A and B are shown apart, each in its own frame.
Chain A
């Protein structure tokens, strides 16, 4: 069943993940004068406009120049400032990957990279603007941490935590309105995966014992809930794990779930190569080999359409998760 900190009205209340980011940078900006924000001509759509109005002396717009944005931020970050660079994920960390590698990660500069419009759920803009590689390209970089919040409330908590934690960090944010899944009281600690659903809660009934761990990140966790509900009706118990911190991954929790459930399905709005699923598989392969299925983009580009149409077409729906669960259970 759902944990009690999950929003009871999650099927009705929607907000964009990026809104939580926008609120958090203002709150933290008020508390800490070292926080600066840099955008590359996408100030409003990356929710930095209110920060720009409130703290004009700490806001910089570099124009459509993501490589310059990363380099300038690197200089600020090694000089006592806490810069947030904010653009679309396809451009930052897409276009400026090498500047991030050399001047932020290897340079060990205290820069926070906010990659907006991530995943195919970005929708109508089409595949050029749907980053499905960014978790992979940031995860492979030494010194870099990777965070993927699941809704606007978690994005706010994550952004605050990111501002307060020293070091280079990538935070991945989605564009479209998605269900508000969590509540203010939901636990959030960077580096700790959180169980959002456990079919065995409050029961010793054998049919309720979880046979699979559905590990998701980002707004698609809403589909994982729906899948868990469908599975429950078919007497297939499951755990839904929210993995907002992909690096460093909560290894202890992954191994605990491998022991408890004996099978994994990863769910992400990202290429199945190099993303959350890969990160989990890297741990399982070494520490506890466990059957696994990957729900995500099957190494193809997206296209224009609305978010939920694309989710259906590209195999990221609750139905697809249910099928993946059934496949993986057969392999146990």
Chain B
């Protein structure tokens, strides 16, 4: 159960988010490929989830009563790998093996390869359906744990996703929270140019969901929204988190060309310089 959020906790989450961003840049730099923008953009959400919201135990990843975090847009797994290691699921040193042969850190997440990964993902549009299946199993067994499903905005192009949206409404799945990374970019360009989604809020409302909209870089709002979702019994809840793709690295921010690209050596250095300044700043605040 979520505890009251303290100033110290907020500071911790903020510094974890920066650590995630630094790890993401380093991992992608070594791997030479991967998705920068979304991984950086969701760092604050990941930090808030694993360092406050989720009821979980990194030393016992398959603990029966854990909350389940389903990452539907598997391509931002570098951020999840980073937060899992920072939370203690596996050694931080292992992050450098991302996308390498014989690594547990697959290019897209694979259930069973790495502790803390609940489902295999990457092909878009299937995460919410799986999250609903998991939530249904919890309901059938009268479990109290909750399911959180992270989604990208681009994957809302997939018909498969909307099948799940309708089914959640039919079944009134209330032990599930969908969190959409609304960063307005996908591989080929701006979401509204490739396949307009607006009004995403109205779409979910029409489909029978309870909708919350927040700043995805504000842990206080992220935690507040998941707390509010607990009190919604009659509907499924979606939190539309507005994020800046590439957040924290100024030359990547809001540029869709960074959706599916990794930094080269020079870019990595520039990015780390900028993020390290942020670390000093947060450490100074502590």
Stretch in contact with the other chain, from B33-41, B116-124, B222-230, B268-276: B116-124
Are B137 and A102 neighbours in the complex by a CB distance under 8 Å? Answer: no
Are B137 and A81 neighbours in the complex by a CB distance under 8 Å? Answer: yes
Are A75 and B131 neighbours in the complex by a CB distance under 8 Å? Answer: yes
List 13 interface pairs A-B (beta carbons < 8 Å), by A numbering. A68-B164, A71-B128, A71-B133, A71-B163, A72-B132, A72-B133, A72-B164, A76-B133, A79-B137, A99-B160, A102-B120, A103-B130, A107-B119
Are B141 and A80 neighbours in the complex by a CB distance under 8 Å? Answer: yes
Most buried by A among B110, B111, B126: B126
Residues from chain B with a CB closer than 8 A to the CB of A106 are 110, 120
Nearest 3 CB-CB pairs, A to B?
A75-B133, A71-B129, A68-B163
Most buried by B among A63, A67, A80: A67
Give the docked Cα–Cα distance between A63 and B129 (Å): 13
Which of B70, B110, B160 meets A68, CB within 8 Å? Answer: B160
Are B132 and A102 neighbours in the complex by a CB distance under 8 Å? Answer: no
Closest to A61 in B: B170
**B-side interface residues, number (CB < 8 Å):** 34
Closest to B72 in A: A71
Which of A36, A57, A65 meets B167, CB within 8 Å? Answer: A65
Tell me, yes or no, whether B187 is within 8 Å of chain A by CB.
no
| Partner-B contacts on A (CB < 8 A) | 36, 57-58, 60, 62-63, 65, 67-68, 70-81, 83, 98-99, 102-103, 106-108
Give the docked Cα–Cα distance between A63 and B159 (Å): 14
Residues from chain B with a CB closer than 8 A to the CB of A60 are 136, 167, 171
* A-contact bits for B216-257, CB 8 A (1 contact / 0 none): 000000000000000000000000000000000000000000
Residues from chain A with a CB closer than 8 A to the CB of B128 are 71
Residues from chain B with a CB closer than 8 A to the CB of A67 are 125-126, 129, 159-160, 163
| Partner-A contacts on B (CB < 8 A) | 70, 110-112, 118-123, 125-138, 140-141, 159-160, 163-164, 166-167, 170-171
Chain A nearest CB from B77 CB (Å) reads: 14
Closest to A102 in B: B123
Which of B111, B133, B140, B171 meets A73, CB within 8 Å? Answer: B133
Are A63 and B137 neighbours in the complex by a CB distance under 8 Å? Answer: no
Most buried by A among B130, B135, B167: B130
Closest to B133 in A: A75
Chain A nearest CB from B256 CB (Å) reads: 25
Closest to B171 in A: A60
Closest to A81 in B: B137
Give the docked Cα–Cα distance between A141 and B185 (Å): 33
Are B111 and A107 neighbours in the complex by a CB distance under 8 Å? Answer: yes
Residues from chain B with a CB closer than 8 A to the CB of A108 are 111-112
Chain A nearest CB from B250 CB (Å) reads: 35
Are A79 and B133 neighbours in the complex by a CB distance under 8 Å? Answer: yes
